[in-house]
Every structure is written in structure tokens, then in C-alpha cells.
Amino acid sequence: MTRTMVVGGGIVGASAAFRMADSGNEVVLVDKHDPGHATAAGAGIIAPGTSMRTLPAFYPFAADAVRYYPELVARLAELGAGDTRYDVVGKLFVATNNEEFERLPAIQQMMEQRRQEGMPNLGATRMVSAEEARSMFPALGEVAGAIHVPEAARVDGGSVRDAMVAGARTLGATILQGNARLLRAADDGAVIEVEGTTHSVDRVIVAAGSWTNTFLEPIGVSVHVAPQKGQIMHIEMGETDTSRWPIIGTFGDQYILTFGPNRVVCGATRETGSGYDLRTTPGGLQSVTNAALRVAPGLANGTVEEVRVGLRPLSDDGLPFIGEVEGHGSVVVATGHGPSGLQLGPWSGAIAAELALGRQPSSDISAFRPGR
């Protein structure tokens, strides 16, 4: 049996701990519960085939990550671990003007090619009129048209994280709250101090998000990750049932998605270079509000219930870091997912667990090595 400590209780760390426990291994999950967790702030779109990203290494891994979600959700349900709020609701990729509308056929062709190559969570896409788009998402304004992606899914970051932690605990994992400090890490094991108690483990999985380098500093190791602030607005729509409204995507970075019974989530800013600033700012709110109301003016009379702020761990090249640390074979890093954390996180954590167990990873992670 392998004894492992997972440092970081976001979606990646929770998944790693759950996978370790579900494999019958001894695992300790430790988290400081810092404000600014990207997982707690985020709402995720689980449909990488609709992405405009141009990084070839992203897509095969993302496809594996999306395929894993239904398996994970089913296993958590079997354990009675709680509602993940994962649901297939579809997505509308919206053109807001005629110039964007003329680009939709090429976008649809790209999606169809990805579907034929095996990308899940797309389904048979089709062009829809502005009227049909509004029938699906009544708050939409005078858009030019849209592509309907019927199998796109969404998830609530905090809910799926909480379910994985609960599942791990049910399977025997130890859950600790506190500050973890790395004292020693070599190929034969690691020693970590948590709030004055020393733990000797075979492997340590570092899934500490934007705080990864703080944990690794004692062994002189760092990865190219920095916090990117995101502000995300939650609106309540009164008596309007939003539970089956599709995700809204556009040619920009920002998005709209919904949860039942009446919540609409508008996000999110991408404030690169923000450092650890967790303030809700007028500029951030203006950016999110303007982007949302430009596409969906019907949201204007909703009630702003809350604004969440999270710090995404953003890598220099837009790809995550997943792998063993050279010269410190007991240390596995899984971080740097940026705005794709909720989409990739559960699978990344599962892969990190495989590495900690000395297994061949189930996905190609050669492009994600920590030392790059």
C-alpha cells in the first residue's frame, strides 16, 4: 500500500485524493482553506470541442478528461457523496452581429471535425436562428444566430470538489485543515509538517494551485505558474426557471451558464498579473456585466446575489504541469490549469494519483512535464 499526502484541496487535489482512496491506498488530503480558491469560485463548461484554443497538446488530454466526468459522477453517486451539479444542458455559440454570423459555418465545421476525431460532449451541432436561440435562452437579445451544441455540459466547481472530498473520506481518506510545509523530498519519500505534526509519506502530490511554488520552495523547485484573478457574478432570476437553459459562449472569453432553480452565472474576468489580489473591483464588475448584457439584456433586471473571486493557477504556455519533479521522485505536481481547471481538473488529479502509485498514466502527459 502506498501512503500519499495530497497538498491542496481544490478540484485537482480532491480528485487525486479520491482516486487514491478508491484504489485502496492510504491518503491524507490537506488544505489551508485559503480565500481565493479557483475551484470554489468557478463554474465550469465541460465541452472542450467548442474551444478556440490552438494548443494541439490540449485536445487529446481534454477529450480524456471529458470522458472521465460521467464515470466519476456515477461513482460519487454510488457512494452517496453528494450532488456534483454536473449536467448536460447544451451550449449556444452565439454570433452577436452579421460579421460574427458569417464566421459561424467555419466554427461549426471545426466542431464537427473534432467530433469525428472522437471529441465527446459535442453531439450533432447545427445552426439555429436568433428566434430559436431565444426560445432556448429567453434572456438573449438581438443576436444574429448561433450554433447549438447539444451535448455540452456544465458543472459547479465547489459542488464537485465537495463530493470528491466526501467520497474520499467515505473510502478512508484522512482530511486535514492546515498549512503544509515540505521538510524533505527525495526519491524514497517525503516529510511534510502540518500544523506542528510531522508526516512521513511515500509520495506527495502537489495540487496547490496558485500557491504551488510556496510549497515547493524549500526544495529549490518552482514551476512557471502565477495567479490569474477571475471575478464571476451570480444573478437570481426570481420566478424564472433557468435550470435547463443552455450555456452561452461567444467569440470572446466570457460566458454565461445557469443552475436551477433560477441562478445565472456570468463570467469571468481574466486578470493576468493580478498577484494575490482578491478584491471585487468596479472595473471587473463592469467588464462582466457589459459582456453579459451585450448578449443577454434580459438579465438586466435580475438580482445580483454574489460576486465570487478566484485565483486561477496560470502557466506561461497555457498548458498544465503534471508529472514527477526531477531529482525528487517522491513529488508529483499537478497544477497550472488556468481557465480550464474545472474541465481538466478531475482527470488531472486521477493521472497524478496514477503517477504516485507508480503506474503508467492513462493519458499522454509528455507536453505537461514540470521542468519545461
Question: CB within 8 A of 109, min separation 6: which ones?
Answer: none
- Of 39-43, 93-97, 181-185, 241-245, the poorest mean pLDDT is in 39-43
Q: Crossing angle of helices 341-356/11-22, nearest 10°? A: 40
What average pLDDT does range 294-308 have in this prediction? Answer: 98
Locus of grid cell 470522458:
67
Confidence of residue 300 (pLDDT cuts 50, 70, 90): very high
Provide the pLDDT for residue 364.
98
* Alpha-carbon dihedral sign for residues 238, 241, 244, 250: negative
Confidence of residue 200 (pLDDT cuts 50, 70, 90): very high
What average pLDDT does range 102-112 have in this prediction? Answer: 98
Provide the pLDDT for residue 41.
86
Q: Cα-atom radius of gyration of the chain, to the nearest Å?
A: 20
Residue 54 has pLDDT above 90, yes or no: no
Read off the amino acid at residue 97. Answer: N
The whole-angstrom separation of Cα 331 and Cα 192 is 11
* Alpha-carbon dihedral sign for residues 170, 6, 41, 89: negative
The whole-angstrom separation of Cα 264 and Cα 240 is 10
Share of the chain above pLDDT 70, in %: 100
- How do residues 272-292 score in pLDDT, each as one tens digit? 999 999 999 999 999 999 999
Cis before residue 43, ω within 30 degrees of 0?
Answer: no
- How do residues 329-350 score in pLDDT, each as one tens digit? 999 999 999 999 999 999 999 9
**Total Cβ atoms within 10 A of residue 260:** 12
Question: CB within 8 A of 107, min separation 6: which ones?
Answer: 93, 147
Question: CB within 8 A of 195, min separation 6: which ones?
Answer: 176, 178, 179
Residue 27's beta-bridge partner residues?
4
Q: Is the pTM of this model over 0.95?
A: yes
Domains of the chain from N-terminus onward: 3-44+158-224+317-368 (3.50.50.60), 87-152+226-315 (3.30.9.10)
